[in-house]
């Protein structure tokens, strides 16, 4: 059985870990590896190595840091296929989707390659007679990233290229369900010339996370995962005086107005709901059918959902793979049971799907539930599976009100031919990321990614300008170089300008 180790001080290591967790192949349902689970003493070792590395990395010139980033960019690009196959084997998503994930991560690396420009400071000449003021930003120290299973390459890349470019050292605690990609990423950083200890990977569970949250030498924590854990991370790390950004779960609504192109909207709705088996924080899980065209929309969506080709992620013919674990499959089918029990209509039922040759794989077929109401569990909870719930609204204002009553506020989309309705929607919804005829509006790397309400705890979104601000702190210098022949008298009142 292959054992997935940590990456500490520039090399793979078991450190003092003895506990392990299974890593499954979701397409076959077989265990394919075991991953070590770090103890607090391993976290201490990792953070110490990162703190030591910070002493020199934070002093490394922007020119040298940028060279490492460009080299890393080339290596990730060259290994994109290998990374995508590792993702497909452990997460289950199809390789073409995993390649898209790697590409979106790579775009953050490309953003971080512009670090000399991004860290340019401000300078004000002669703010007072003979006095200049200038400001610049410095790195924080050792920063930690705790990441979910659903994007094992992209979500960590929202964090580490930016943190490292800013001069920090980074300790990643990836999901224990698909940890292998992070080992390859660590070796690519090393090959790019990143000094030992600047990028660290510790595998583990709650024990490792808690040790990071409590460690006095961890300055900041970036978290992406489910809402209850995001809330917990935010509270515990904040109580320990750390800077925290904690992105949580989602329930993303896509509103379809009667003037939308039905074929376009239904194609995109199905892809956004079923792509990656619905295991995306930006997946559409609720469709809001507005007005009289609802029945026709459901009929079209159901036909397209039933036609999605489900199979192993490595099979190029597959459009949708299995879900990550048997427990995830059982949770999802439990929600479909509940939806049926609570009065929703099953337009497409994905329970009991069997993929020939992969009978033990963790498959759930695309599912569409119609006549869903806001009290039902399928509407209230994040299912994180290939399940689309259709709710109905009379007009766009009712759709906006529905979205705003929901505790989550990650992403949302509207399908319409009306600029007026789209503008009313974009201004009215309490949601961080909005798509207009774009169902999964993930911002480009040079904008910041993040939700509102229960989808984010803390102030900062990730990457883009907010990522740079999160991983640095400001210094402002007020400087005077008096002429020896013009002495300036000291005064006892609070300094004012002259």
The site for ligand NAD (CB under 6 A) is made up of: 146-151, 155, 173, 175-176, 205-206, 209, 224-226, 229, 247-250, 281, 382, 384, 410, 451, 455
| Contact of 13 with 46, CB cutoff 8 Å | no
Closest chain position to ligand NAD (CB): 225
> For residue 265, with 0-12 CB atoms within 10 Å meaning exposed, 13-18 middle and 19 or more buried, which class applies?
buried
CB 470: neighbour CB atoms within 10 A?
26
> For residue 441, with 0-12 CB atoms within 10 Å meaning exposed, 13-18 middle and 19 or more buried, which class applies?
middle
Helix (H/G/I), strand (E/B), else coil: 455: coil
Closest CB to ligand NAD among residues 92, 249? 249
Closest CB to ligand NAD among residues 147, 300? 147
Q: Catalytic: which of 281, 391, 399, 429?
A: 281
Q: What is the dihedral of CA 401, 406, 412, 414, to 10 degrees?
A: -30
Closest CB to ligand NAD among residues 367, 455? 455
| Contact of 362 with 92, CB cutoff 8 Å | yes
113 given a catalytic annotation: no
Closest CB to ligand NAD among residues 215, 392? 215
Closest CB to ligand NAD among residues 133, 207? 207
348 Cβ contact list (under 8 Å, min separation 6): 302, 305, 306, 365, 366, 367, 368
Whole-angstrom Cα distance, residue 63 to residue 75?
Answer: 19
Taking the CA atoms of 401, 404, 408 and 411 in sequence, report the sign of the dihedral they define. Answer: positive
Angle CA 37–41–43, to nearest 5 = 65
For the bound state, the minimum distance from the C-beta of residue 318 to ligand NAD, rounded and expressed in Å, comes to 21
Closest CB to ligand NAD among residues 362, 384? 384
For the bound state, the minimum distance from the C-beta of residue 343 to ligand NAD, rounded and expressed in Å, comes to 26
Most distant CA pair in the chain, distance: 91
Closest CB to ligand NAD among residues 79, 236? 236
Written in H, E and C, the secondary structure of 314-369 is: CCCCCCECCCCCHHHHHHHHHHHHHHHHCCCEEEECCCCCCCCCCCCCCCCCCEEE
| Contact of 17 with 33, CB cutoff 8 Å | no
| Contact of 150 with 279, CB cutoff 8 Å | yes
Whole-angstrom Cα distance, residue 489 to residue 230?
Answer: 54
Closest CB to ligand NAD among residues 229, 421? 229
The upper half-sphere exposure of residue 269, i.e. CA atoms within 13 Å in the direction of its Cβ, equals: 35
Q: Where are the beta strands (DSSP E) in 266-321?
A: 284-290
Which residues are known to be catalytic? Answer: 281
């Amino acid at each position: 059985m292959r054992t997935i180790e940590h990456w500490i001080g520039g090399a793979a290591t078991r450190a003092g870990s003895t506990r392990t967790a299974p890593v499954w192949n979701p397409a076959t349902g077989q265990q394919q590896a075991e991953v070590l689970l770090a103890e607090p003493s391993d976290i201490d070792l990792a953070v110490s190595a990162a703190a030591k590395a910070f002493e020199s990395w934070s002093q490394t010139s922007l020119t040298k840091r940028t060279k490492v980033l460009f080299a890393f960019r080339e290596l990730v690009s060259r290994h994109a296929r290998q990374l995508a196959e590792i993702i497909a084997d452990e997460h289950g998503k199809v390789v073409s989707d995993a390649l898209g994930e790697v590409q979106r991560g790579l775009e953050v690396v490309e953003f971080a390659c512009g670090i000399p420009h991004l860290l340019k400071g401000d300078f004000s000449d002669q703010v007072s007679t003979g006095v200049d003021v200038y400001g610049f930003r410095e790195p924080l120290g050792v920063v930690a990233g705790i990441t979910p299973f659903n994007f094992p390459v992209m979500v960590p890349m929202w964090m580490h290229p930016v943190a490292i470019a800013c001069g920090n050292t980074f300790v990643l605690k990836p999901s224990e369900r698909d940890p292998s990609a992070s080992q390859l990423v660590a070796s690519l950083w090393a090959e790019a010339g990143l000094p030992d200890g600047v990028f660290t990977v510790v595998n583990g569970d709650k024990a490792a996370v808690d040790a990071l949250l409590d460690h006095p030498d961890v300055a900041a924590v970036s978290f992406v995962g489910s809402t209850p854990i995001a809330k917990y991370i935010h509270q515990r790390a904040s109580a320990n005086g750390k800077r925290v950004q904690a992105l949580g779960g989602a329930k993303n609504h896509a509103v379809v107005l009667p003037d939308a192109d039905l074929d376009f909207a239904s194609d995109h709705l199905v892809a956004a709901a079923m792509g990656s088996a619905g295991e995306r924080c930006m997946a559409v899980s609720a469709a809001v059918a507005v007005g009289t065209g609802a029945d026709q929309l459901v009929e079209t969506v159901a036909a397209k959902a039933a036609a999605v080709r489900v199979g192993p992620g490595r099979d190029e013919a597959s459009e949708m793979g299995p879900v990550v674990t048997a427990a995830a499959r059982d949770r999802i089918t439990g929600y479909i049971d509940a939806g049926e029990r609570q009065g929703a209509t099953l337009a497409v039922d994905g329970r009991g799907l069997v993929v020939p040759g992969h009978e033990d794989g963790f498959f759930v077929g695309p599912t569409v539930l119609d006549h869903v109401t806001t009290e039902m569990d399928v509407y209230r909870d994040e299912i994180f599976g290939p399940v689309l719930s259709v709710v109905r609204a009379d007009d766009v204002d009712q759709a906006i009100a529905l979205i705003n009553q929901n505790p989550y506020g990650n992403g949302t989309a509207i399908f319409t031919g009306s600029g007026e309705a789209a503008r009313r929607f974009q201004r009215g919804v309490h949601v961080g990321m909005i798509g207009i005829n774009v169902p999964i509006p993930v911002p480009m790397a040079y904008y910041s990614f993040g939700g509102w309400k229960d989808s984010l705890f803390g102030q900062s979104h990730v990457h883009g300008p907010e990522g740079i601000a999160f991983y640095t702190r400001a210094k402002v210098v007020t400087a005077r170089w008096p002429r020896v022949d013009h002495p300036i008298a000291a005064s006892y009142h609070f300094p004012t300008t002259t």
